[in-house]
Structure 1
Amino acid sequence: MRSLLSVVAVVLSVLISPSITLPNGAPESVCDTMLPKHGNNIPPLTTASPFRITPGTSVIGSGQQLQVEIESFPTNVVYKGFMIQARNRFPPYQVLGRFEQTDESAIKLINCGGQDSTATHTNTQTKKDLALEWVAPADFVGEIVFNGTIAQDYAQFWVGLESTPVKVVSSGQPPSVVGISTTRRPPTTTTVPPYVAPTAAKGETVDPIYQGCGDTKGCFGFPEGCVETRNCRAVVATVVQGERYIFEMKSGYNRPAYIAVGLSTDSKMGDDSVIECVPEQGTVNAYASWTFSGPYGVSRQGVAQNFIKLVQQSYVDGVIHCTVERDAVTTVKGQRFDLINEKYHVLLATGSSADSTHVSYHDIGRHVTGVPLALAEVGPVQGNSKLLLRLHGAFMLTAWIGTASLGILLARYFRQTWVGSQLCGKDQWFAWHRFLMVLTWLLTMAGFVIIFVEIGGWSQVDNPHAILGVVTTVLCFLQPIGAYFRPHPGTKRRPLFNWLHWLGGNLAHIIAIVAIFFAVKLQKAELPEWLDFILVAFVAFHVFMHLIFSIFSWIQIGGCVSERRNSQRVTSFPMADMTPSRNSMSSGDRKQDAAFSGFRKVMLFFYIIIILAFVVALVVIIVLAPIEDTYESIRKQIMN
């Protein structure tokens, strides 16, 4: 009985195993490898295949339909399973187009990166000369190949069968070849599918645009260092073929409305020749344009379009990818561009808006090479230094989040703390207040000069940060001048000075904080949006501490201090010394600290620690901006 059961089990395993292995077609889990999941790790055959994938024509318009046949040689050879998809012939080798359902009994459509983008079998019945209907994408112009896996039976299958290339042209361009090809050719040997993207050591997918960077082509992108880490928000690769200069551009960060590369004789925008790649109605078009300065702008008007040629383009899931050829020697707006003999700065930019005549401001990102380049030379490309920009941000944050906040707090609540103790011949509160505010003045003036040196003029960005910064700087500049000419205590003009000094300092502080909030929105700053939450936390903490100090001041002013403390002079509170009468203070009053001085000292220590933490965190985020990319780069270096 046991031997009979063993025989039955063996027979069932032989009969069932071929049929239970994907009898209903390939799963979506093999979209990339196209490798059948047959048992016992059966490898694909490497011998010549008797099957061929034959497209009906070599040229098709975008959005048009194409018949694709699976043919066999000899013609009597049959097959049981298949998996067919169209892919870009060039990097990034993405799956393109979709198949029409023409025979539900034999064909099943699955989604490999797109709806119905791959055709496979529905059963393991024998098949012969099956025809498929493929529809070209409406937003793609370039060359595709059909790549497939054909299974003759359970143990015999070929992976990576490749058709002849098919050129997809704009639907408005008439195909040069039409009709179904009837010429049969001998079967070709199979190869490993060329579309499988290379992987990094950790198994991470690497975008093919980065292949050969620094070796066979020059690559430049942003943020700085992204080419090495292969995670650019926008990137351009340049290749020279004879007298044709090829620019390959790609950007998908924040779903850009365009990506553009410019050639400039300097590192500033203005009088530059630009190539734009702009998605329009599902396809990407290339335009030549010209930049202007004062006011800044870009226009295609009066710029010839015949010195550039769109070679390849795609627009998938918000990612712009285009390859454009440019003549080596051109004249644009009366200016000669000789890419063979001259060197140029490369400007790369992306933005979120564009119209039919020009692209708009590069609010997503912009970067420029640090030195002019000979485009035929291949090697590492460094961007323009952002040291001055980072120093400006670090100085202004340190001044107005750190030193100004602390200096204002000391002057407002600590006039009757550390009574009898002096520094450099001055009361402690005044000595530290003066030191902190002088430091604020120096940092602000340095930051103001630095940013004008960096930009080279007034900012053209539609953001109030610049005007708020100027107002802050003017108020800050005037404060020490007014303090130097302040009237003596007790004179009738002293209250006026006190009010003006208080008003100027607080206005400068408030406007500076508002300007910092607007700086987060600046594209050049490369700051994360969540930085707003840190700034809000700082404002909340600063206001909370002022509220705590003020409450204790109000308690004392309201007479809530016990009679046993009545010999002590209460603290100098906000706006103290605003009138001559408030200046009267006997020598006895100044011999000891005011009430709650111990509490104020503890709270001051707490305030300094938290403010220091805010300043350090914000300066690090600014100096290492964009912080997310820097963090990811450091993490990868540590992990590797």
Structure 2
Amino acid sequence: MNREGCGETKGCLFKPAGCDPMRDCTIAVIFYVSGPNFLTIQVAALTLLPPPTLQYIAIGFSHDSIMGDDMVTECVLSPTGDEFASEPEVFVSYNIGKSNDRTYLNQTELSSLIKEIKGESINGRISCQWSQQIVPQQSSKGGRLWNLNHKYFILGATGSAQPDEINAHDTSMGSHFYPIVSARPINPSLIGAQLYDLPKPFSMPITKIQTTTIKHFIDPFSETKAILISIITFKNKPRNQKKRKNTTKKINIIRIGFLNLRQKKASGC
């Protein structure tokens, strides 16, 4: 992790300005396109004092320069080398107002979104690196997973953490650990030595319902005049996919009903 390429092939945020991310930055964030639909993110921070059991370094993507309604990706690791938390872990979360809420992803979803996690704690500093999908190829989790092919203010923060959540960062504006924010919105997908075509955003499969009703009439003088058979067909076909043979699944449900059409004989006066 270094300053080489910053402002050209890398997006970089350092605190204080001009610091060395591996020597004297209290917070450092670097990001760049590293492959088809993947962004490499590198973060580093000075270890908090006193050192907590777990510490996080996070990158946030925001529509403005203020915390609130932001997508966050955080790396959590032990600055003390605790044997129960020695491996770095990366999670996604969402800032709801001034609080942070972790976004639940199962192991398959998380391993698809986040790859190649590395991290270490050395000489009073923690650092972490991972690759993250630019356009998530899965559900947005209620709008909490964002397409990074847009302009965002980039946020950087550090603080103590729990196994299942991160704690509030330093809120004193004069503190060395107060979060950093980019001076302008940046499109992360446009920063890199080489850029790639991006896939279409993920969309849920479309389910179409088709109902066919068949009437079969029988004896007009019987109690039961007709049998109604409704065939309901469910067609499950992914969006944005050309029609192919045997790609559409059909489920037929047959519903049978009986109509009583018996006519009453009119009585004379």
Q: Same fold (TM over 0.5)?
A: yes
Q: What letter is aligned with 1:288? A: V
Instruction: Give the alignment's TM-score, normalised by structure 2.
Output: 0.55
Q: Which runs of 5+ in 1 are unaligned?
A: 1-207, 380-640
Give the equivalent residue in structure 2 for 1:271: 69
Give the equivalent residue in structure 2 for 1:292: 96
Q: Kindly report which structure 2 residues correspond to 1:87-126, keeping only aligned pairs within 5 A, or say none.
A: none
Greater strand proportion: 2
Question: Counterparts of 2:117 and 2:187 in 1: how far apart (Å)?
Answer: 22
Q: CA deviation at 1:274?
A: 1.0
Give the equivalent residue in structure 1 for 2:135: 329
Q: Kindly report which structure 2 residues correspond to 1:62-73, keeping only aligned pairs within 5 A, or say none.
A: none
Question: Counterparts of 2:87 and 2:74 in 1: how far apart (Å)?
Answer: 13
Q: Is the 2:62–2:154 contact (alpha carbons within 8 Å) kept by the matching residues of 1?
A: yes
Q: Does 1:375 align with 2:196?
A: no
Q: Secondary structure at the match of 2:29?
A: strand
Q: CA deviation at 1:314?
A: 1.4
Question: Counterparts of 2:72 and 2:43 in 1: how far apart (Å)?
Answer: 13
Could you tell me the percent identity over the aligned residues?
Answer: 32
Question: Counterparts of 1:277 and 1:283 in 2: how far apart (Å)?
Answer: 10
Question: Counterparts of 2:141 and 2:8 in 1: how far apart (Å)?
Answer: 31
Q: CA deviation at 1:271?
A: 1.8
Q: Secondary structure at the match of 1:305?
A: helix
Q: CA deviation at 1:349?
A: 0.3
Q: Kindly report which structure 2 residues correspond to 1:27-426, keeping only aligned pairs within 5 A, or say none.
A: 208-226=1-19, 231-241=24-34, 242-254=36-48, 257-280=55-78, 281-293=85-97, 296-303=98-105, 305-306=110-111, 307-330=113-136, 331-335=140-144, 337-340=146-149, 342-351=150-159, 353-363=160-170, 364-378=177-191
Question: Counterparts of 1:226 and 1:378 in 2: how far apart (Å)?
Answer: 21
Question: Counterparts of 1:335 and 1:358 in 2: how far apart (Å)?
Answer: 16
Question: Counterparts of 1:335 and 1:290 in 2: how far apart (Å)?
Answer: 6
Instruction: Please identify runs of 4+ aligned residues in structure 1 that moved more than 4 A.
Output: none
Q: What letter is aligned with 1:355? A: Q
Q: CA deviation at 1:223?
A: 2.7
Deviations 1:75-131 (A, max 9, x none): xxxxxxxxxxxxxxxxxxxxxxxxxxxxxxxxxxxxxxxxxxxxxxxxxxxxxxxxx
Q: CA deviation at 1:376?
A: 3.5
Q: What letter is aligned with 1:247? A: I
Q: What letter is aligned with 2:69? A: D
Greater helix proportion: 1
Q: Is the 1:286–1:309 contact (alpha carbons within 8 Å) kept by the matching residues of 2?
A: no
With over 3 angstroms needed to count, the CA separation of the structure-2 counterparts of 1:252 and 1:310, relative to structure 1, is farther
Question: Counterparts of 1:302 and 1:285 in 2: how far apart (Å)?
Answer: 14
Deviations 1:189-230 (A, max 9, x none): xxxxxxxxxxxxxxxxxxx422222233111122345469x8
Q: CA deviation at 1:245?
A: 0.7
Question: Counterparts of 1:334 and 1:270 in 2: how far apart (Å)?
Answer: 14
Give the equivalent residue in structure 1 for 2:203: none
Instruction: Give the alignment's TM-score, normalised by structure 1.
Output: 0.25
Q: Is the 1:220–1:227 contact (alpha carbons within 8 Å) kept by the matching residues of 2?
A: no
- For the pair shown, the structure with the greater C-alpha radius of gyration is 1
Q: CA deviation at 1:249?
A: 0.7
The size of the alignment, in residue pairs, is 168
Q: Is the 1:302–1:333 contact (alpha carbons within 8 Å) kept by the matching residues of 2?
A: no
Q: What letter is aligned with 1:298? A: N
